[in-house]
């Protein structure tokens, strides 16, 4: 069965030719017979001369014959997209560009980069490039904001990312351009707001010379949401708490602002309740749990949304009807207890990388809690990482003895809820059996990024491949440079990150209307390996910049792994181990690595 991708084995005119006859046919020769429909649909022209060409097939040869002469002194770019297939539906796999000029000068600037979706490289995404003009006498092209119009205005250049997620558009004239990418879910070769993920660029591309080259442009695909959150419902489990449910998760930076007032048809001025705190539960991201003072049992209240935004920055909107709730007559009598334990009690799962998760029955006041300790052959302290007021993760501060049992005892009376209620007079007993710890090592690589304001941060995400036991590690840096990670369990890792320009901790994917550039993202496309007792030094950087002008290497070469070195690990203090801040509070150990060096090409 034929599973080999077809290839373009010849083109006429010769790519890069100048002073071409204005009636010259354009010819593509293929390595095998092609599917005519998919190949013709994968053709794009700059300038748009497609309607002036007559299509002929002669076996494996596609001929495009002009019905009228090409324009004088014009660079013509013909792109054959990666979706062209042979007769057995094998894709071409990468776009092919044929450029020539009817005059003595060939436009020769280019832009290249890669397309990401959810941190992975996205194959086959469409690249639409609009001209914004800016050269004397040069007209701007179609309005890029119309990319999502019911009748879309097509751009000056169209190409596709190849099967590795990389793209390149060559033979562009001087000027300013805006580059979008989208994944064509339904295959109609246009962007559909409701179904297609779209990438808004982090910046516009500028060419000031005839042969400028812009590399490393990373486009991050995301679904576009043009409506903000609104309140769907509200309920009060007692006179201390209010649960407000939204149409979508509010933005992680900053809680939604609400007001609560009495709602009685008496004509009197409504009484205001006071919001004293709140949070978004880890397991219910569309719900705001608010702590409220002044709610009268048996009374009815109305909730109004004052301010909220979703993750894309869309402002909140008022509900179409009044959102009301009635306060139950009973007071809050819920005493705090431990409701769930992960890993399960008595399991053989404990080492220094284990994060013991406890889930409580009600919100816990985290101030004034006594230390919690694992007791076994030795006593091990536990760091507490509160994910929300209901959930805490406990991280052992020292290694555990393999096969030994360690017990954790928490007195319920030491737990206090937000409303001041203590737990019952009982103790929670938990135990886990120790396992041998995984080997550990560190990664070292460079961070390159765009300049940021003083409150901006470069955020780096290190995640184990395949969803193993390796914890997700998030680091933040205030300036680009060398990054040495905390010690990590042995295994493969993905490295990605973004330039957090506004410093809110969340990735801004930009807007179309009005245009707002996305925050620059980046990823190292290959897997990075942590080797036991080694510091793995990667020579390829994590680039969190908009793009690089006239860099010596093409964009896809920039993001591919060049070499891996293993070098001696010196003793370091915790502060020197990483210029970033380990947000998951890993306990950092220090050991010497044997001296050994090799390169993988």
Q: Please give the residue that has the higher pLDDT: either 244 or 313.
A: 244
The pLDDT tens digits of the residues spanning 319-356 come to: 888 899 999 987 788 899 999 999 988 888 888 778 89
Pair 407, 429 in one domain: yes
Going by C-alpha positions, the residue among 560, 573, 569, 558 that lies closest to residue 593 is 569
Distance, in Å, from the CA atom of 433 to the CA atom of 422, rounded to the nearest integer, reads 30
Q: What's the DSSP call for residue 7?
A: -
390: in domain: yes
Would the pLDDT of 69 be above 70? yes
With a CB cutoff of 8 Å and minimum separation 6, the contacts of 575 are none
Q: What is the per-residue pLDDT for 584?
A: 27
Regarding whether 153 and 101 lie in a shared domain, the answer is yes
Tell me whether residue 112 is in a domain: yes
Residue 591 included in any domain: no
What is the per-residue pLDDT for 151?
60
Using the 3D structure, point to which of 270, 305, 326 is the last residue of a domain. 326
Together in a domain, 215 and 140: yes
As given in the structure block, the two tokens for residue 259 are 């007001």
237 lies in which domain range? Answer: 231-326
In a shared domain, residues 358 and 459: no
Number of domains in the chain: 4
> Looking at the domain assignment, is residue 160 inside a domain?
yes
Measured distance CA(422)–CA(417) in Å, rounded: 6
Distance (Å, whole) CA 196 – CA 188:
11
pLDDT digits (tens, 9 = 90+) for 20-61: 999 999 999 999 999 999 999 999 898 888 888 999 999 999
Q: pLDDT-derived band of residue 469, with 50, 70 and 90 as boundaries?
A: low
Residues 290 and 383 in one domain: no
Residue 77's CATH number: 2.60.40.3710
Residue 254 DSSP label:
S
Q: Give the end of a domain, one of 188, 221, 254.
A: 221
State how far the Cα of 30 lies from the Cα of 61, in Å rounded to an integer: 6
Query: Both 160 and 283 in a single domain?
Result: no
214 and 294 in a single domain? The answer is: no
Do 178 and 38 lie in a common domain? yes
* Six-digit token string for 505: 């901790």
Answer whether residue 531 is part of any domain. yes
Q: What is the distance in angstroms between the CA of the first residue and the CA of the last residue of the chain?
A: 33
Domain-embedded: residue 587: no
pLDDT-derived band at 472 (thresholds 50, 70, 90) equals: confident
**CA angle (112 as vertex; 444, 135 as ends), nearest 5:** 130
> Does a structural domain hold residue 44?
yes
Q: What percent of the chain has pLDDT over 70?
A: 85
Look at residue 62 and tell me whether its pLDDT is greater than 90: yes
Task: Please compute the mean of the pLDDT values over residues 166-187 and round it to a whole number.
Answer: 90
* More confident position, 554 or 464: 464
Span 15-19, mean pLDDT?
94
**CA dist., res. 26 & res. 13, Å (int):** 6
Residues 239 and 271 in one domain: yes
Tokens found for residue 350: 């404990």
Tokens found for residue 539? 């020579």
Q: What's the whole-number average pLDDT of the chain?
A: 82
- Nearest-5° Cα angle at 50, 48 to 56: 160
The conformation of residue 413, written as its DSSP 8-state character, comes to G
Q: Inform me whether the pLDDT recorded for 587 exceeds 70.
A: no
Q: Do 478 and 562 reside in the same domain of the chain?
A: yes
Given 390, 407, 434, the domain boundary residue is 434
Say if residues 225 and 218 touch (Cβ distance below 8 Å).
no
For the domain that residue 263 is a member of, what is the CATH number?
Answer: 2.60.40.1220
Q: Which helix (H) or strand (E) holds 577?
A: helix 574-577
446 and 555 in a single domain? The answer is yes
Give the pLDDT of residue 548. Answer: 62
Nearest 5°: the CA angle 68, 70, 72 is 135
Maximum average pLDDT range among 91-95, 405-409, 584-588 = 405-409
Mean per-residue pLDDT, 160-188: 89
Q: Determine which helix (DSSP H) or strand (DSSP E) holds 460, and give its type and residue range.
A: strand 457-464
Residue-level pLDDT at 575: 28
Does a structural domain hold residue 584? no
Distance from C-alpha of 311 to C-alpha of 248, rounded to nearest angstrom: 9
Confidence band of 574 (pLDDT split at 50, 70, 90): very low
Per-residue confidence band for 533, with pLDDT thresholds at 50, 70 and 90: confident
pLDDT value, residue 589: 28
pTM: 0.65
- Provide the token pair at 401: 């003895």
* Chain Cα centroid distance, residue 143: 27
Q: What whole-number distance in Å separates Cα of residue 432 and Cα of residue 353?
A: 13
For 573, counting Cβ atoms within 10 Å of its Cβ (0-12 exposed, 13-18 middle, 19+ buried), the class is exposed
The answer on 345 and 320 residing in a single domain is: no
Residue 186 pLDDT exceeds 90: no
Task: Kindly report the CATH number assigned to the domain that includes residue 505.
Answer: 2.60.40.10
Place of tokens 């990664």: 443
Across residues 360-386, what is the average pLDDT? 93
pLDDT in tens, 264-317: 766 677 889 999 989 999 889 999 999 999 999 989 999 999 999 887 778 888
């Amino acid at each position: 069965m034929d599973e080999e991708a077809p290839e373009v084995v010849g083109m006429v005119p010769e790519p890069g030719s100048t002073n071409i006859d204005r009636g010259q046919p354009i010819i593509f020769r293929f390595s095998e017979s092609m599917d005519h429909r998919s190949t013709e649909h994968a053709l794009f022209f700059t300038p748009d001369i497609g309607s002036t060409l007559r299509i002929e097939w002669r076996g494996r040869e596609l001929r495009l014959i002009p019905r009228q002469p090409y324009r004088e002194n014009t660079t013509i770019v013909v792109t054959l997209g990666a979706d062209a297939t042979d007769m057995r539906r094998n894709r071409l796999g990468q776009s092919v560009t044929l450029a020539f000029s009817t005059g003595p000068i060939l436009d020769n600037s280019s832009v290249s980069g890669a397309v990401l979706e959810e941190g992975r490289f996205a194959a086959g995404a469409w690249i639409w490039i609009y001209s914004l003009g800016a050269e004397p006498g040069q007209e701007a092209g179609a309005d890029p904001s119309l990319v999502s119009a019911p009748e879309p205005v097509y751009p000056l250049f169209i190409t596709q990312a190849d099967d590795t997620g990389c793209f390149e558009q060559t033979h562009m004239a001087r000027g300013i351009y805006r580059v979008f990418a989208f994944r064509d879910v339904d295959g109609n070769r246009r962007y559909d707001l409701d179904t297609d993920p779209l990438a808004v660029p982090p910046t516009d591309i500028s060419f000031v010379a005839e042969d400028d080259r812009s590399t490393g442009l990373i486009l991050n695909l995301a679904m576009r949401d043009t409506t903000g959150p609104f309140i769907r419902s509200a309920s009060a489990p007692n006179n201390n708490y209010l649960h407000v449910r939204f149409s979508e998760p509010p933005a992680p930076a900053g809680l939604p602002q609400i007001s609560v007032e009495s709602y009685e048809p008496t004509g009197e001025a409504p009484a205001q309740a006071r919001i004293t705190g709140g949070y978004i539960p880890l397991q219910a991201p569309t719900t705001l749990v608010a702590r409220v003072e002044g709610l009268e049992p048996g009374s009815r209240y109305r909730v109004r949304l004052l301010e909220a935004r979703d993750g894309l920055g869309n402002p909140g909107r008022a509900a179409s009807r009044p959102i009301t709730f009635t306060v139950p007559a009973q007071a809050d009598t819920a005493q705090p207890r431990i409701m769930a334990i992960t890993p399960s009690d008595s399991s053989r799962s404990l080492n220094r990388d284990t994060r013991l998760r406890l889930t409580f029955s009600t919100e816990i006041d985290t101030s004034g809690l006594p230390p919690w300790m694992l007791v076994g052959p030795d006593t091990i302290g536990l760091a507490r990482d509160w994910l929300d007021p209901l959930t805490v993760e406990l991280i052992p501060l020292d290694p555990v003895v393999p096969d030994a049992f360690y017990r954790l005892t928490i007195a319920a009376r030491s737990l206090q809820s937000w409303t001041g209620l203590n737990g019952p007079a009982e103790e929670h007993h938990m135990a886990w059996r120790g396992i041998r710890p995984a080997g550990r090592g560190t990664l070292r690589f460079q961070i390159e990024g765009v300049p940021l304001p003083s409150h901006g941060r470069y955020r780096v995400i290190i995640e184990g491949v395949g969803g193993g036991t390796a914890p997700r590690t998030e680091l933040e840096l205030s300036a680009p440079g060398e990054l040495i990670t905390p010690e990590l369990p042995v295994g493969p890792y993905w490295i990605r990150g973004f330039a957090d320009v506004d410093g809110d901790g969340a990735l801004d994917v930009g807007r179309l209307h009005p245009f707002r550039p996305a925050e620059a993202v980046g990823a190292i496309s290959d897997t990075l390996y942590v080797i036991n007792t080694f510091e793995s030094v990667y020579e390829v950087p994590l680039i969190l910049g908009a793009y690089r002008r006239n860099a010596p290497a093409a964009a896809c070469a920039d993001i591919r792994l060049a070499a891996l070195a293993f070098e001696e690990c010196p003793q370091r203090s915790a502060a020197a181990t990483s210029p970033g801040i380990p947000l998951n509070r890993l306990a950092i150990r220090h050991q010497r690595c044997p001296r050994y060096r090799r390169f993988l090409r």
